[in-house]
Structure 1
Amino acid sequence: MRGVPIRLRPPSRRPPAGPVPVASAAEARARGLLRRPALLLALPVVASCVQQGDLGRPAPTAWNSLIDAAGTLAARERGEPSSFFPYTDDERILRDRSWRYLMPARDRSLFDNALDNLTRARVLPAEWRLSDPRAYLDAILAEPFRSPVSRYRRLSDDLTADGRLIPAFAETAARVVRADLTRLRSLPFIRTLDDRDVRSAAMRVAENRCLIAWVRRETAARSDSYRTALEHLLVAVPSEEAVGAERALAFLESRRRLLDPLLPADAESRCGLAPAPEEGPQAGLVTKG
C-alpha cells in the first residue's frame, strides 16, 4: 500500500486517445453550470437549500447530485485528482460517511454553511477555509444556555458522536484501499484499456486516498477545537461535568488513531492539504488536577 504513489495532477492536458465515455446527465449539467459565471456565483446561495438526509448527510436528490458533479469538474480544472468512473458501493458509502468530518462541528450562518457544503463537494478548494481552533468554542459560547453545564454536555455529545462514527468510516476506507490496490495491480494485465481508462483508474485511486487523508486531517482539527473549548470552559466555568467531557475527548482520540494505518504519514501533504494540528497534551486536564 505504501509503495503506490499518489498522483495529484494528470500527466498531460491533451485529450487521451480512444473513445470518450458519455457523461452522465448530472455531469453534463454541471459542465454548463461551471461555464456560466453568473450561476457559479449564485452557487453559495442556492447550495444553502441542500436537503439533509440522516446523520447530517445530503439527501440523494437531483440537486445534490448536480453539486457533487460540479465539484468533480471544478477539482479537475484545478488539477486535483478526479475521475468520472462511477463510484463503487464502498466509494459512495465512504463519501457519505465523510460528510460529518468535512463539515464544521459548529453551527454557522446560512451563507457560511453553503460555502462549507461547496467545499465538501470540492466546488471550492479545501484550503480556502482557514482553520480556527476557537471557532467551535465561540459557537457554543454564543448559544443561549441557562447553565454552563449545558455547554459541557454539548461538548461531550459532539465528542462522543464523532468518536462513534470513526470506526465505520475506517472500515469502509480500508475496503476502498484494498479494492484500489486490486485495481492498480490488474492494470498491466488488461489489454483492452485505452489511455483514458488507465488515467481515470489512477485518478480514482488518488481521489479516494486524498479523501481519506482529508478526513484524517479534519478529525485532528476537530479534536484540537474540542480540546480548546474544554480548556477554556475548565478555566472560565469549572464544573464536575468537565470530567465527562475529558473522557469523551480521550474516547475520540483513541478512535481517531484508527485512521493512521490507512495511509502514509505524509499523505496529507502529498494531497496538497495543510498538515494536521500538532497533537496537544494527553488527557488529564481534570483527572490529574
Structure 2
Amino acid sequence: MNEPTVQVKRNAGKIKCASRTSKAATLTLLLPLLVLGACARPVGDFGRAEDSVIHDEILPRVGAMSASSREEPVSRFILTDEEKLMRNRVWRFLIAPHASDWMFDAAVERQRTRLSPPTDLNFNTDRYYTQLRLDDYRSTNTRYVTIAEDADTDLKTIPGTFAAICDVMEVERRRNTAMEGLYPNNDAVRKEVRTREFENANVIAWFTRALDYRYKSYDVALNRLLVETPHQEAGLSNVALNRLAIFVDRAKRGEFCDPFTDQTYTAHQELPALQSRYENMDYNIPAEAEILK
C-alpha cells in the first residue's frame, strides 16, 4: 500500500478535528472568540437593549454550554413572555446608561449570557463617586443634583420591575400546578421545572444585589461629598436615597407582589425625608476648629 500523501494526512487531521463534538472541545474553540465579542450589550433609545444576533442568540447558547460544563442547571424550557419581560426589566438595573461604565457593563454581559459565573459579588461601591469626582462640573453642588437625578431614574422603573418579578412568580405557581396534575411522577419534567425556577431565582437575586449596589454607591458618593464639598443641595440627594432605601429593603425581603407598589412610589414622593445625619447638619454656623495635639 502506498504511503499517504501529505494532502491525505492533512485531510485526515481535519476529519479528526471535526469529529471532536464534546462540549469541552466546542467551548475551547469558541470561547476565546466569543469572549472578545462579549462586550457590553448594545443599547438603543431610552436605554433599551438593541436586538443583536450575537448577544441574543449566539452568546446565550454558548453560555448555556459553559454553565453546563460548570455543572450549573440549564433549562430547556421556552421562556414565557413574563420571564422575558422580567429579564428585560432587570437588565436595566444591571447596567447604567445614565452613569457611563461604572456598573461593569462588559462583565454584566458575560454574566447575563452565562459565559462566566457571577462577578458582581466583588464590585466596589466607590466607582460611582470616582466618576462624579472626575467629571468636570461647573459647580461642585451639581454633583448632589446628579445623585438625586440618578436615584430618581431608578425609582421610576422599580415598580414595573417589581410587577414583572411578581408575574413570573405567578407563572411558576401555575407551572407547578400543571406539573402536579399532569406529570406527578415524572422526574424529568420535575427536574426541568426546578431548573427554570433556579434560573429565575438567580435573575431575581441579581436584581436585588444590583439595586442594593446602586443604593450603596449613591450613599458612598453622598457621604464623601458631604466631607469634600458640603452644601445644602445634599438634601435633594438625601430625599431620593431615603425613598430608594425603602424599595431596596422590600427587595431583600422578597416583597415584590405588593398590589400598591405604584401608589407606594407616588406616596413616598410626597413624604418628607426621614431624619438623618444629612438633615442635622447646620451649614449656617461654621464648626469650631479642632486643634489636634
Using the size of structure 1 for normalisation, the TM-score is: 0.73
- CA RMSD of superposed structures (Å): 2.9
Give the 3 Å change call, closer, same or farther, for CA 109–186 of structure 1 in structure 2: closer
Structure with the greater relative contact order (CA < 8 A, sep ≥ 6): 1 or 2? 1
CA drift at 1:148: 1.3
Counterparts of 1:39 and 1:191 in 2: how far apart (Å)?
A: 38
Give the 3 Å change call, closer, same or farther, for CA 179–49 of structure 1 in structure 2: closer
Give the 3 Å change call, closer, same or farther, for CA 120–259 of structure 1 in structure 2: same
Which residue number in structure 1 is paired with residue 42 of structure 2? 51
Q: Mapping of 1:18-167 within 5 angstroms?
A: 35-37=26-28, 39-48=30-39, 50-65=41-56, 66-103=58-95, 106-108=99-101, 113-127=105-119, 130-167=122-159
Counterparts of 1:94 and 1:64 in 2: how far apart (Å)?
A: 17
Structure 2 unpaired stretches of 5+ = 1-21, 257-273, 282-293
Counterparts of 1:263 and 1:211 in 2: how far apart (Å)?
A: 15
Give the 3 Å change call, closer, same or farther, for CA 34–55 of structure 1 in structure 2: farther
What secondary structure, in the 3-state scheme, does the structure 2 residue paired with 1:262 have? coil
Alignment counterpart, residue 212 of structure 1, candidates 182, 196, 204: 204
Contact 1:103-1:116 at 8 Å conserved across structures: yes
Deviations 1:52-78 (A, max 9, x none): 134434212212212233333323332
Which residue number in structure 2 is paired with residue 176 of structure 1? 168
Give the 3 Å change call, closer, same or farther, for CA 251–240 of structure 1 in structure 2: same
Give the 3 Å change call, closer, same or farther, for CA 78–102 of structure 1 in structure 2: farther
Give the 3 Å change call, closer, same or farther, for CA 186–164 of structure 1 in structure 2: same
CA drift at 1:226: 0.9
Contact 1:48-1:114 at 8 Å conserved across structures: yes
Counterparts of 1:34 and 1:196 in 2: how far apart (Å)?
A: 27
Give the 3 Å change call, closer, same or farther, for CA 146–33 of structure 1 in structure 2: farther
| 2:191 partner amino acid | R
Contact 1:33-1:39 at 8 Å conserved across structures: no
Counterparts of 2:28 and 2:120 in 1: how far apart (Å)?
A: 19
CA drift at 1:157: 1.4
Worse-superposed segment, 255-264 or 95-104: 255-264
Which residue number in structure 1 is paired with residue 189 of structure 2? 197
Q: How many residues are treated as equivalent by the alignment?
A: 241
| 2:49 partner amino acid | P
Give the 3 Å change call, closer, same or farther, for CA 132–245 of structure 1 in structure 2: same
Counterparts of 1:109 and 1:235 in 2: how far apart (Å)?
A: 22
What secondary structure, in the 3-state scheme, does the structure 2 residue paired with 1:180 have? helix
CA drift at 1:248: 0.7
| 1:165 partner amino acid | T
Identity of aligned residues (%): 25
**Structure with larger Rg:** 2
Which residue number in structure 2 is paired with residue 240 of structure 1? 232
Contact 1:68-1:121 at 8 Å conserved across structures: yes
Structure 1 unpaired stretches of 5+ = 1-30, 265-281
What secondary structure, in the 3-state scheme, does the structure 2 residue paired with 1:286 have? coil
Deviations 1:74-104 (A, max 9, x none): 2333233431211111100000011122236
1:262 partnered with 2:249: no
CA drift at 1:32: 8.0
CA drift at 1:132: 0.7
Which residue number in structure 1 is paired with residue 8 of structure 2? none
Contact 2:102-2:128 at 8 Å conserved across structures: no
| 2:50 partner amino acid | A
Counterparts of 1:238 and 1:107 in 2: how far apart (Å)?
A: 25
Worse-superposed segment, 164-173 or 36-45: 36-45
CA drift at 1:211: 1.2
CA drift at 1:107: 2.6
| 2:69 partner amino acid | E
What secondary structure, in the 3-state scheme, does the structure 1 residue paired with 2:230 have? coil
Counterparts of 1:53 and 1:83 in 2: how far apart (Å)?
A: 29
CA drift at 1:34: 8.1
What secondary structure, in the 3-state scheme, does the structure 1 residue paired with 2:248 have? helix
